[in-house]
Chain A
């Protein structure tokens, strides 16, 4: 009896502790600066350029991840092959790798003396410290979120629908577009959104591989870091935007039609 009481108390303290730890910084960000000051801060070139660059690069990254990642997700979902475990581990790796390590790796691959960089250099192509490098860095760290979610979603499409499509003259390609994609749309959209959010927040790999050049490689997280030393209001303004975007994505994934598969959505509509 005493123990049950103690357990409840400890549980309550833990829950309060973790919620305060997560919520307090977020609340502090939102309450720190009054709205007019925030809007003024957004007009500064440093902030405006960072927002523009972040939007462009993160969207390019998301498109690249979906286009390049979907075939791999299909392969992982539908086929067994030797070394599949290894491929899956490599795909997941960037999720646990420190982003700065990813940046160093990218530098060693695409840098002037890097494996591929040294081949590209005589052709007049230099990747590091360009906007393209930002996209590469974001793709590297954000791709696993989409590929994992997409593979899981494609794997969940029930066998009976694929069988039905096959006996209705559906080639694997036709079946992929007309049956697999619509039935796994929820996972694909969710995965893409997670990748986009991760790309938007990318810091370590970007600053290591692409540098911190205002207007070219200085994305919002980098601008936050720089502004923190000179202009706290600007840093807070950028942080608030990033916070709102992240929160919106997570809430959207849980509540809007994207958060449901076609069947439950249709069921809801009919009821």
Chain B
């Protein structure tokens, strides 16, 4: 169990976050670069100290500004894998992995056994006597993990562990890493800016924006009820924020947005509401559609992106009032002759919306 409150000023940037992570689970931190994700990891690892706050891991207090506790990094039960791995270039793979045990003065025979077991587990036995620069990116990544995990840390901190790898290696390692993390008894904090990784690894996902956590929840929570525009964009859903303007028949309300108006299922009450709309609920037409869709908007296609690259679904951004993102099939793109700059009609049913507060 990790419980942390971290406040730190870095120039004009102000970090202020609180985290609670259960033992055996993984919290994924997502956010744009510069949002403060890496700083959170460095503070948890003890590589920097907060201005104020508390870090408690199980029964150990690593930091408490009120009681004047600030445990140095080398006393913490932390395994930290930096984005660039930081493998020691002058040491062989076996010496890299043995570093932490030797630093603690563990008996040579036990060091040998535990390192050998770790190298076997990470499929690195053939590279024992090599130096890090002789290894591929994926192998280096496994050495970095082995080096950190051989110490059985209670807190594992991973900073974009897959981002330096090519796509194919990333896919293979994502599977391996998921198995490894699932078997860890302690707390894992995983930083990424990749939605796929966040969903794959996060028992919970915390969204960091400009030094603050704007939303914490499961991937499902974030997908159904994103609370900020960034969360919605990260999860790939449309999010509208507005005020209830008028009640219609059939249990629908009209909601006034900054740009335009949409019709949604009545959430009850009055005032501010958030509305999430799955991009798959949005249909595109070349001419104004007739039929039951309450929400029809005309706009120009600004971007067409296949997701995943060369996948069969395509995300289409439309500059309408309000701006929308639709997800359609490749067949639909071909049938409509979709291209950037084309004028289209986008429509979704009121029943396809999720209003919440």
Listed in ascending order, the chain A residues whose CB lies under 8 Å from chain B are 160-161, 163-172, 174, 178-179, 182-183, 262-263, 266-267, 270
CB distance from A190 to the nearest CB of B (A): 17
List residues of chain A with CB within 8 A of the CB of B134.
270
Cα-based distance from A164 to B103 in the complex (angstroms):
12
Give chain A's interface secondary structure class: helix
* CB <8 Å contact, A270 and B133: yes
Interface on B for A, CB 8 Å cutoff? 42, 45-47, 72-76, 78-80, 82, 84, 86-90, 99-100, 103-104, 131, 133-134, 147-148, 151
Residue from A168, A178, A182 having most chain B Cβ neighbours under 10 A: A168
> Whose C-beta in chain A lies nearest to the C-beta of B147?
A168
User: Which of A163, A169, A262, A263 is close to B103, meaning CB atoms less than 8 Å apart?
Assistant: A169
The smallest C-beta distance from A235 to any residue of chain B, in angstroms, reads 45
* Structural contact, A167 and B89, CB atoms closer than 8 A: no
Indicate which residue in B47, B88, B104 contacts A169 across the interface (CB closer than 8 Å): B104
In angstroms, how far is the closest chain A Cβ from the Cβ of B178? 23
Partner of A170, one of B79, B89, B99: B99
A183 touches B74 (CB 8 A): no
* Closest beta carbon of chain A to B83's beta carbon, Å: 9
Residue of A168, A174, A182, A263 touching B133 (CB-CB under 8 A): A263
Cα distance A14–B56 in the bound complex, in angstroms: 69
Chain A residues lying within 8 Å of B133, measured Cβ to Cβ, are 263, 266-267, 270
Contact between B80 and A171, CB atoms less than 8 A apart: no
- Min C-beta distance of B98 to chain A, whole Å: 10
Could you tell me the distance in whole angstroms from the C-beta of B90 to the nearest C-beta in chain A?
Answer: 4
B99 near A263: Cβ-Cβ < 8 Å: no
Kindly state the separation between the CA atoms of A160 and B82 in the bound complex, as whole angstroms: 8
Which A residues lie within 8 Å of B80 (CB)?
163-164, 167
Instruction: Give the distance in Å from the alpha carbon of A161 to the alpha carbon of B84 in the complex.
Output: 10
User: Which single residue of chain A is at the shortest CB-CB distance from B84?
Assistant: A160
Asked if A163 contacts B86 (CB within 8 A), the reply is yes
Beyond known contacts A163-B42, A168-B99: 17 more, CB 8 A cutoff? A160-B82, A161-B86, A161-B89, A163-B47, A164-B88, A166-B47, A166-B73, A167-B74, A168-B151, A169-B74, A169-B100, A169-B103, A170-B99, A170-B103, A171-B74, A183-B90, A263-B133
